[in-house]
Amino acid sequence: MERIFSLTRISSIFLIFLVVVSCSGTKAYVVTPEPTLEQQTAISKDLCLQRFLWLFPGKRPCVYFKAERDNGTGLVQYFLLYEIGTFDVDIPIGVSLKLGETWYNLKRTNTDYSDTIIISSAISSDLIPKIGENQSIAISYTNRKETINYNLSSNQTATFQSNLSKLIRTIESEPKLNIYRK
């Protein structure tokens, strides 16, 4: 009996360690100056769409926002990044957002094939306020084999909206880069 209790305690400590390690070390809301590209980039925290044991956030798929500000014009472009697990072998086609009862197909701007697949999709400036206003948000991912829809819970919707809002405040509060050209 004592051995089972000890094994349970060790398992619990190990699980807590894994959760702490997986949630630490994020570069969320840090603005990265990119003087060679004459832009600044910031990334929000991620929101993982699946749950592990119906309680803990899963690892993939996850979504997060990215902002790029052109240093010359001051124009900011926002992107929704959809990160797929390494086991998805089908060719990704795109990502859509459902805000209220309307679906918006996002323009895919990049697909990064590294240790995970990350699809970058542009978010138009007229879509940003709609994301903040809607209480019902769904995310749809399509590859050449299937379409997977995720209806966000009220907590996930609030986190999704908060991540975008914090990212907007972060990128807009950064001063313009001073770049010397020879």
Give the domain CATH number at 32.
2.60.40
Whether 108 maps to a domain, the answer reads yes
Print the domain residue range for 113. 26-173
Whether 11 maps to a domain, the answer reads no
What is the tens place of the pLDDT at every residue in 24-34? 445 688 888 88
Q: Which amino acid makes up residue 182?
A: K
Whether 154 maps to a domain, the answer reads yes
Number of structural domains found in the chain: 1
Whether 121 maps to a domain, the answer reads yes
- Please state, in angstroms and as integers, the Cα–Cα distance from residue 130 to each residue in 3, 40, 85, 164, following that order: 56, 25, 28, 12
Whether 151 maps to a domain, the answer reads yes
Q: Is the pLDDT of residue 56 over 50?
A: no
What is the tens place of the pLDDT at every residue in 121-145? 999 999 999 999 999 999 999 999 9
Cβ-based neighbour number of residue 121 at 10 Å: 22
Return the higher-pLDDT residue of 66 and 33.
66
Summarize the confidence of residues 148-166 as an average pLDDT: 96
Whether 7 maps to a domain, the answer reads no
